[in-house]
Structure 1
Amino acid sequence: MDASPPLIGVTLDREPPCPPEQGGYSSFPWYAMRCNYMDAVTMAGGLPVGLAHDAAQAAAVMARLDGLIVTGGAFDISPDLYDGGAPHPTVTTKATRTDAELALVRAALELGRPILGICGGEQLLAVALGGTLIQHIPDAIASPLPHEQPNPRDEAGHEITIVPGTRLAHITRASRMAVNSAHHQAVATPGRAIVSAVAADGVIEAVELPGHPFCIGVQWHPEFGISTGDRLLFRALTDASRHRE
């Protein structure tokens, strides 16, 4: 048996030029990623690698990887991708990143590679599976929870209820979890996926694809590891990636 750690691709964010003299990182476009995404993979026994935004190479990249994490970011999925109508005034997009991540997800689905979508990554996963999104939660949900929580991201913002019998319930060994929250959009319909967790206000907090070796999207940020369930989720992804065919 191969005891080497599975190679987990982690999608990067992309930022426009901002010279250091203006408080930015570089005068040229640059990739970025919070350390805790990579740290969570390493702690779970995986070998993380950052993925550039190149849709044309997505299939070749996924053929080399054992698993995929689609990360979140301060941007939205274009409503053009799910027939969502005109963009809400709050919507901002990153077309190059989204195109690359969609190509990676589709390749991973085709190859049967384990996939974990986080926050915006969950939303993109749902869209890739034929689902739709709520463009702005306050305009669509009556009395919504503060999904853009005011307290620090390494603390819980609200609780979720996990659907019994789902893969998520099996992994986390829980029926409820306290999670952090940093989003203004959410999954409206999950397409071919099923809903595996919801918030008290009805917002979908997790989806998963039955029959796939591991295909789960969560609306919160488990890379902060604020609960046992968060850490178990990364462990389950790593284990599934290690045992893929």
Structure 2
Amino acid sequence: MAPLLIGISARIYYPQAPVADTGGVFTRTLHYLEQSVAHWVLKPHVLALMIPAIEREGLLQPREVNLADYARQLDGLVLQGGNDVSPRSYGEDPMHADWTGDRIRDRYEIELFRAFLAAGKPVIGICRGCQLINVALGGTLYQDIPTQLPEAIGHRDLMRYDQQFHDIELTPGSRLSQLYGGATHGEVNSIHHQAVKDLGEDLVVEARGVPDGVVEAVRWRGSSYVFGMQWHPEFMAGDAPDPRRLGGDPILLDFLSAVAERKERR
């Protein structure tokens, strides 16, 4: 059986000035993949491949290498977490200098997402990836939850990182709820300070934070499989130590099942 080929969008590291103080490879722009994401995706008969960004200022120009070529050759796409989505990608100015985001990565991932969407290939978004899906479909974001939603619970604790958890409510009857035996409540990790504000076109909410109602998961009602979640399922893979926690395997296996079904139809 031919393996499923799952593309994963690249995180981007930019050299910090003065680069001489860092030295070595850190004087160069790096495209990288967080190991936990790759290990979460990798299963028997599944290969994970990082898709490098193509930017106007690079050695290769978009006219020379088309991201749509990846969408044609690969079977599915994972948009991994990372830097903020730039407010300018959804028509706003940054409210704070620390929230300018990564406009270069935005352009690359939006083009990549749209290419997979046009090809009818399944897409899943993790944290920033969920926000990127919303923006690519015309939605907006809260630039900073504590500032714009001061009544919200804490959604990020840098000292606790992936050990920061909170409750969510799953939409009854939603596909996400069905993956967890019809559960309507659960617990997930939380490492984000931005969140979905106005929903993108044809997106529906499948989970919200408790008790603040912050959007935690979205699904596209269009013709192909698109799902985004604010939490990091790669940090919750395997058996959940707490029965309330939503282990990462059901989400991945549902995604891979959609990928295999799409590939078989093709």
Tell me the TM-score normalised to structure 1 length: 0.90
1:190 to 175, 199, 222: 199
Whole-Å separation in 1 of the counterparts to 2:200 and 2:15: 36
1:116 to 124, 141, 148: 124
Deviations 1:50-89 (A, max 9, x none): 010127321111111100001110x222222222x32121
1:237 to 246, 255, 260: 255
Residue of structure 2 in register with 1:213 after alignment? 224
Deviations 1:87-128 (A, max 9, x none): 121313222211110001111111111000110110010011
Give the letter for the 1:11 counterpart: S
- Greater shift, 218-227 or 57-66, is seen at 218-227
Deviation of 1:156 after TM superposition, in Å, equals 4.8
Whole-Å separation in 1 of the counterparts to 2:175 and 2:223: 11
Whole-Å separation in 1 of the counterparts to 2:141 and 2:126: 15
| Residue 130 (1) aligns with residue 141 (2) | no
- Greater shift, 22-31 or 43-52, is seen at 22-31
Quick one: structure 1 residues 231 and 24, their matched pair in 2 at CA, closer, same or farther if it must change by over 3 Å?
Answer: farther
Deviation of 1:172 after TM superposition, in Å, equals 3.1
- Greater shift, 228-237 or 157-166, is seen at 228-237
Deviation of 1:208 after TM superposition, in Å, equals 0.4
Give the letter for the 1:133 counterpart: L
Give the letter for the 2:227 counterpart: I
Deviation of 1:45 after TM superposition, in Å, equals 5.2
- Greater shift, 114-123 or 36-45, is seen at 36-45
Residue of structure 1 in register with 2:46 after alignment? 46
Deviation of 1:204 after TM superposition, in Å, equals 0.4
1:6 to 4, 11, 18: 4
Deviation of 1:142 after TM superposition, in Å, equals 3.4
- Structure with the bigger RCO (C-alpha within 8 Å, sep 6+) is 1
Structure 2 regions of 5+ residues with no counterpart?
56-61, 241-245
> Are the aligned partners of 1:158 and 1:180 in contact in 2 as well (CA < 8 Å)?
yes
> Are the aligned partners of 1:14 and 1:30 in contact in 2 as well (CA < 8 Å)?
yes
Which residues of 2 match residues 48-67 of structure 1 at below 5 A?
Answer: 48-54=48-54, 56=62, 57-67=66-76
Residue of structure 1 in register with 2:243 after alignment? none
1:88 to 89, 92, 95: 95
3-state SS of the aligned residue for 1:148?
Answer: coil
How many pairs does the alignment contain?
A: 241
Residue of structure 2 in register with 1:16 after alignment? 14
Tell me the TM-score normalised to structure 2 length: 0.83
Residue of structure 2 in register with 1:26 after alignment? 26
3-state SS of the aligned residue for 1:242?
Answer: helix
3-state SS of the aligned residue for 1:164?
Answer: coil
> Identity percentage over the alignment?
34
